[in-house]
Structures are given as structure tokens and as C-alpha cells.
Structure 1
Amino acid sequence: MYKVQPDFNEDNSPLVEIIHLDCALWATHLLPIFGEGFIDSDVTCHNSLDSFSSFYVNKFIDHQAFDIIF
């Protein structure tokens, strides 16, 4: 699996871009890299991107389950 993590500017602010939905080809699985400690009980699917610093991209996902519609 590929390991990904967010980029930051020189002032330590997050480097962000807006990607239009019509540019996304298919869904992907991001698996958080948990580390050694316990996970806070307030981590949900809504704030998990902000709660973890790096993720694995599951390249073994069945991407053919998501058909590209033209």
C-alpha cells in the first residue's frame, strides 16, 4: 500500500487545493496509520482526516466496482 500524508507551507499552514468532483475518477480507501497510542473516543468519520497525520492508500480496492459514467 502507498503511504500518504498532507503537505504544509513554510509557515506550517496546510497546503490545500480544490478538486472539482467531475475530475475524481473513483473512490479510494484511506486507512489511518494509528501508531502506538490510544485513539481518542471523539474521532469519527467526519474528523478523521484531521485526527491522523498519515494514511495508507489501499491500492487493492476493487476499483471496477465504481464504473466511470460518460
Structure 2
Amino acid sequence: MWVVRPEYLGNRPNMAVIHLDSISRGAHLIPVYGTATLPEELQFHDSLDAFCTFYVNRWADHHMHSFMYGDN
């Protein structure tokens, strides 16, 4: 699986506004959990802030695999 992480410029996250037409597909991200225990109060919507690195699940569905590998 591919590993992705946020990009930083110095100690600040590199953020940009993108147009919705430039998004071609959603991605299924799986956090790299590490060895620490997760707090019970962690909510799913806090995942992007709570984890530093993610796996991209290219097998999430047939369309995602076709998009990434050009299978028709």
C-alpha cells in the first residue's frame, strides 16, 4: 500500500484551496496506528488530526483500483 502524509512548509501545514472540479475520486485512508493505545473518546472525524501518516487503500473498490492502475 502507498503511504501518504501531510506536507509541511517549515512547521506549518501546506494548505491550498482547490476547485471541486479537480477532484476525480475519493480515497480510502487507513491510519498508521503505531504502538500506543487510542483514547476511547477519539471520534472518526478527528482522524486526520490525530494521525500523521496514512495508507491509501487502493483495493477499496473496483473503480478505485481501475482509476489508479488504468485497468478498463
- The answer to whether the superposition gives a TM-score over 0.5 is yes
Structure with the higher fraction of residues in helix conformation: 2
1:17 aligned residue: 16
Identity %: 38
1:44 aligned residue: 43
1:54 and 1:19 mapped to 2: Cα distance? 22
2:69 aligned residue: none
Comparing both chains, which one has the higher relative contact order based on Cα–Cα distances under 8 Å and sequence gaps of 6 or more?
1
Q: Does 1:2 align with 2:16?
A: no
- Could you tell me which runs of 5 or more consecutive residues in structure 1 were left unpaired when the two chains were aligned: 66-70
Contact 1:26 1:63 in 2 (8 A): no
Amino acid at match of 2:43: T
Cα offset, 1:63, TM superposition:
4.7
Q: Secondary structure at the match of 1:38?
A: coil
Aligned residues: 64
2:18 and 2:59 mapped to 1: Cα distance? 23
Q: Secondary structure at the match of 1:37?
A: coil
- Superposed CA RMSD in Å reads 1.6
Moved segments of 4+, more than 2 Å: none
Structure with the higher fraction of residues in strand conformation: 2
